[in-house]
Amino acid sequence: MDSKQFEFVDKSVKEIPEKMRPSLTYWQDAWRRLKNHKLAMIGLAGVTLIVLIAVFGPMFTTLSYSDQNLDYANVPPRMDIYQLDEDLYVFLTTDYKVLQISKDGHILGRLPRTKTDAIKKIYTYEYEGEAVALDFSYNLLKDKQGYPYDFSFTYKGTEYTEPYKKVQNRTYPFGSDILGRDLMVRVIYGARISLTVALVASLVNLFIGVVYGSISGFEGGRTDGIMMRIVDILNSIPLVLYVILIMVLVGNRGLWTMIIALGSVYWVVMARLVRGQVLSLKNQEFVMAARALGVSKGHIIFRHLIPNALGPIIVSMTMMIPSAVFTEAFIGFIGLGVSAPMASWGTLANDALQGLLSYPYQLFYPSMAIALTMLSFNFLGDGLRDALDPRLRKG
C-alpha cells in the first residue's frame, strides 16, 4: 500500500486522547432512541395535532356543537352546483331543497318554494322575482325513463341538465347532519369528549392501578392473595359489560358518569402489570439496603419501586388511552354515551347510521377520527416500549 495514504504521528506524542460521547441519563437515552423511531414520531405528531385541535379548534369557529339550521340539513362536503345565471349558482339537496351557493362554495341561502306539482314532479322556486323550476320526473315517470340525468333546472326559459362544477363546501367543510349542524365542529367537540374520558380514565387507572398493584406485590403473602383475587373477580366480567351495567344503574347519561364507569374498572390491568414489576424488584439489593436502613414501606414503594417501574407503566398507559377511546366510542355508539346535544365520536357514528346509504360522509369523519387517534397512540406506545426497555439499549 502507498505510504502517502497514511498520516504518521509524531513520536513525541505519547498518548492520544480517547474520543468519548457525552454520557446520557436513562431518559435522555430513551428520548434519543424514540426520535429514531419514525412511526413513533409520526404517532407523537398525530397525538399532538389531535390534542391541539380538540383544545383550540372551537376558538376558530363561530358555530357551536348545538347550533342547527334545518334549511342546510344533510349538505355534503362536496357539492355539484348548477350555474343558472352569471351570479346564480344552486345546489339541490337530497330532500329537494335548492340552496344558493357562491362560486367558491359558500352557502348563501335557501330559495323559497312557491309551487308544487306532485303529479308532474315539478317544484317551482323563486329567486329575485324569477321562477326556478326543478323537474325531477326523469326516471320516475314512464314517459321520461331512460334520460341520462335525474333532474333539471329551468330558469328564464333555459333548461340546465349538467352541473357546472363540483366545489368544496366552504360553510360546512365536513358537511352537515340531519339537523343542519356543522359536522366538523361536532367532530372537534367530540374529540374533547372522547379524549377527556380517555385521559381521566387513564389517570384514574394510573393512580389506583399503580398504588394497588405496588402494595399487593410488595406485601406479598396473604395480602397479595386477597388483593389479587379481587382483581380476578373484576377481571372476570367483560369491561364493556361492566361499564354498561354501571351506567344503567346510575341512570344519568353524562360525561362524569362515563368517566366514573370507565375509571372504576379500568385499573385492573395496570395493577397486574405493576404487581409483576414490584415482585421482580423488591428483592433487589437497593430495596434490601433501604429496608436495612429502616426506611418505611411507603417510602420504599413510592421512592424506589415505582420510579424503577416507570418505563412499563408509561408504555401501558399510552397503550390504554386508545383502548379507552374505543370503549367510549362503542358505549356512545350503542346509545349509552353522553346525552344530546353533546356529541362524542361514538354518538356521531350512531347518529349517522340512519342515513348511512344516503349520507356516508356523516359516518366517515367520526370513524376516521377514531381510527387516526388509535393509530397515533399505538404508534407512540410501540415506540415508547422500544425506547424505555433497558434490554434494548445499545451503544
State which of 168, 192, 208 marks the end of a domain. Answer: 168
For residue range 109-160, what is the model confidence (pLDDT) as tens digits? Answer: 999 988 888 788 889 999 888 899 988 877 666 656 556 667 888 888 888 8
Q: Are residues 160 and 191 in the same domain?
A: no
Q: How confident is the model at residue 261 (pLDDT cuts 50, 70, 90)?
A: confident
For residue range 315-371, what is the model confidence (pLDDT) as tens digits? Answer: 888 888 888 888 888 888 887 777 777 788 888 888 888 888 888 899 999 999 999
Q: List the domain range (segments joined by +) for residue 140.
A: 78-168
Return the pLDDT at 395.
44
Mean pLDDT to the nearest integer, 167-182: 90
Q: Are residues 139 and 253 in the same domain?
A: no
Residue 316's nearest CA partner among 266, 259, 282 is 266
Q: Are residues 118 and 205 in the same domain?
A: no
Q: Within a domain: residue 25?
A: no
Q: Please compute Rg for the chain using Cα positions.
A: 31
Q: Are residues 142 and 274 in the same domain?
A: no
Q: What are 266's three cell numbers?
A: 379500568
Phi, psi of 343 (to 5 degrees): -140, 125
Q: Are residues 230 and 134 in the same domain?
A: no
Q: What is the mean pLDDT of the chain?
A: 82
pLDDT exceeds 60 at position 74 = yes
- Could you tell me where the beta strands, DSSP code E, fall in the chain? 78-85, 88-92, 98-101, 107-110, 113-117, 122-127, 130-135, 152-155, 158-160, 165-168
For residue range 14-48, what is the model confidence (pLDDT) as tens digits? Answer: 555 555 666 667 677 778 888 888 888 999 999 99
Q: How far is CA 176 from CA 7, 62, 172, in A?
A: 74, 15, 6
Instruction: For the chain, give the percent of residues with pLDDT over 70.
Output: 89
Q: Are residues 150 and 192 in the same domain?
A: no
Task: Provide the whole-model pTM.
Answer: 0.81
Q: Are residues 158 and 203 in the same domain?
A: no
Task: Name the DSSP letter for residue 337.
Answer: S
Query: For residues 57 and 200, what is the distance between their CA atoms, to the nearest angstrom?
Result: 20
Q: How confident is the model at residue 63 (pLDDT cuts 50, 70, 90)?
A: confident
For residue range 281-297, what is the model confidence (pLDDT) as tens digits? Answer: 888 888 888 888 888 88
Q: Are residues 120 and 242 in the same domain?
A: no
Q: Are residues 289 and 388 in the same domain?
A: yes
Residue 198's nearest CA partner among 306, 385, 330 is 330
Query: For residues 372 and 366, what is the distance between their CA atoms, to the nearest angstrom?
Result: 10
Q: Are residues 226 and 151 in the same domain?
A: no
Q: Within a domain: residue 157?
A: yes
Phi, psi of 112 (to 5 degrees): -70, 140
Q: Are residues 141 and 190 in the same domain?
A: no
Q: Are residues 158 and 226 in the same domain?
A: no
Mean pLDDT to the nearest integer, 153-174: 89
DSSP string, 263-321: HTTTTHHHHHHHHHHHHHHTTSHHHHHHHHTT--HHHHIIIIIHHHTHHHHHHHHHHHH
Q: Within a domain: residue 70?
A: no
Task: Name the DSSP letter for residue 107.
Answer: E
Q: Within a domain: residue 152?
A: yes
Query: For residues 272 and 279, what is the distance between their CA atoms, to the nearest angstrom?
Result: 11
For residue range 197-230, what is the model confidence (pLDDT) as tens digits? Answer: 888 877 887 888 888 888 888 888 888 889 888 8
